[in-house]
């Protein structure tokens, strides 16, 4: 049978057209796949991030219940023998569906509250409570100088006065070495003083005079209580390496060597009350000594400020109410860090601050 050549040509053209359409569809499909791939990855990461967030919230709930139970049983007295401290010191990853949770709990009364330099004003509304502000500045100055011997007195004075100005609500320069908006607006990357509380310690890097050396030296000893200018150091939960902090808070009545000896000789169960704490031999000797506050190189405090300076042990306690949970959450290929600050009272617990991310 003879088939016309024209029919072969028509079939060849049709086959080529089919192959062309198939190739075109394949190219379009590949392009769509490449375009959709980032969206798919982004959606997966969002799902993992959402799961990590809820794991962080779950960890908060566990910590809140544990802390409230233990502190209520001990009249809000916290010490290093309690379960929250022991489990934090020997932290082990906790398996959860699809990942792991690992975290540590830190007592925020075992550190210097940077927000304590935001001293409340007097009833007249004109000047801060002078003696208390002088006390807080002297304590932070002494902590800076004790934390690292490479920090010179001028640098310490600059950081102390500048932090007080960063926190206070006005535009007046605090002390000889303070800084307000004009000082920050003239920098390479202009900004203004916050004139409010620090939300977290990392904000300290924005304050004039805070160098990487100073920030690293202070970081182990400081914290920021959320919207709270009080100061109370729990001697039961202080780390053994916190001698510079104890020396500074006692305004020099505890030497560095005495502070080290006190911390090394503490019982794990700590003191049951402030009255018992004050019977400790080392603390009793410190309380009997005159304070040796470092007022820096600026103007000498007034007699009224010196009269209201307080005693060596005024800022020491055995009770705690603020705790920080630092969690590391792994979900799938995503690893993320979370930080939460919780307040514990006999009546309730509440989360005051939460952040998620590095």
CATH 3.30.1300.30 location in the chain: 43-108+321-356
Rounded CA separation 116/322 (Å)? 14
Q: pLDDT for 298-315, tens place per residue?
A: 778 888 888 888 999 999
pLDDT in the model for residue 128: 58
The pLDDT value given to residue 12: 64
Q: Is the pLDDT reported for residue 113 higher than 80? A: yes
Does residue 76 come out as left (phi exceeding 0), alpha (psi in the -120 to 50 range) or beta? left
- Report whether pLDDT(186) > 90: no
CATH (residue range 112-317): 1.10.40.60
Question: What digits encode the pLDDT tens for the residues 273-299?
Answer: 999 999 999 999 999 998 889 998 877
β-sheet with 99-107: strand ranges across: 94-96, 99-107, 322-331, 334-344, 349-356
DSSP category for residue 108: T
Among 222, 231, 202, residue whose Cα is nearest residue 133: 231
User: What average pLDDT score do residues 329-357 get?
Assistant: 89
State pTM to two decimals. 0.84
pLDDT in tens, 115-161: 999 987 654 344 557 789 999 999 999 999 999 999 999 999 999 99
Q: What is the pLDDT of residues 8-65, one digit of tens each?
A: 566 666 677 777 777 777 777 677 666 666 766 677 677 877 888 888 888 899 999 9
Assigned superfamily of 43-108+321-356: GSPII I/J protein-like (3.30.1300.30)
Q: What stretch(es) of the chain map to CATH 1.10.40.60?
A: 112-317
Identify whether the C-beta of residue 117 lies closer than 8 Å to the C-beta of residue 133: yes
CA distances from 341 to 107, 199, 344 (A): 10, 10, 10
């Amino acid at each position: 049978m003879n088939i016309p050549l024209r029919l072969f040509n028509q079939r060849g053209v049709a086959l080529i057209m089919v192959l062309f359409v198939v190739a075109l569809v394949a190219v379009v499909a590949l392009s769509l796949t490449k375009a959709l791939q980032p969206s798919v990855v982004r959606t997966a990461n969002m799902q993992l991030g959402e799961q990590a967030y809820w794991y962080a919230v779950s960890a908060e709930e566990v910590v809140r219940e544990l802390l409230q139970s233990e502190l209520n049983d001990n009249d809000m007295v916290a010490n290093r023998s309690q379960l929250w401290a022991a489990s934090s010191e020997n932290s082990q990853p906790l398996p959860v569906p699809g990942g792991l949770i690992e975290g540590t709990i830190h007592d925020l009364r075992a550190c210097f509250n940077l927000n304590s330099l935001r001293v409340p004003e007097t009833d007249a509304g004109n000047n801060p409570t002078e003696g208390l502000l002088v006390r807080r500045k002297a304590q932070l100055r002494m902590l800076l100088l004790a934390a690292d011997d490479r920090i010179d007195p001028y640098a310490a004075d600059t950081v102390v006065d500048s932090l007080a100005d960063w926190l206070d609500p006005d535009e007046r320069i605090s002390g000889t070495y303070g800084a307000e908006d004009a000082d920050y607006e003239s920098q390479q990357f202009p900004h203004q003083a916050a004139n409010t509380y620090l939300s977290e310690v990392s904000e300290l890097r924005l304050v004039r005079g805070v160098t990487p050396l100073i920030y690293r030296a202070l970081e182990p000893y400081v914290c920021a209580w959320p919207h709270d200018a009080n100061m109370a150091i729990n001697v039961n939960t202080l780390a053994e390496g916190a001698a510079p902090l104890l020396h500074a808070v006692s305004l020099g009545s505890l030497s560095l060597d005495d502070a080290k000896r006190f911390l090394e000789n503490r019982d794990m169960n700590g003191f049951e009350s402030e009255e018992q704490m004050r019977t400790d031999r080392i603390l009793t000797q410190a309380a009997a000594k005159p304070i040796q506050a470092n007022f820096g190189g600026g103007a000498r405090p007034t007699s009224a400020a010196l009269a209201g300076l307080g005693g060596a042990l005024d800022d020491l306690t055995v009770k705690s109410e603020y705790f920080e949970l630092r969690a590391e959450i792994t979900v799938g290929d995503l690893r993320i860090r979370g930080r939460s600050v919780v307040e514990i009272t006999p009546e309730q617990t509440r989360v005051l601050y939460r952040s998620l991310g590095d």
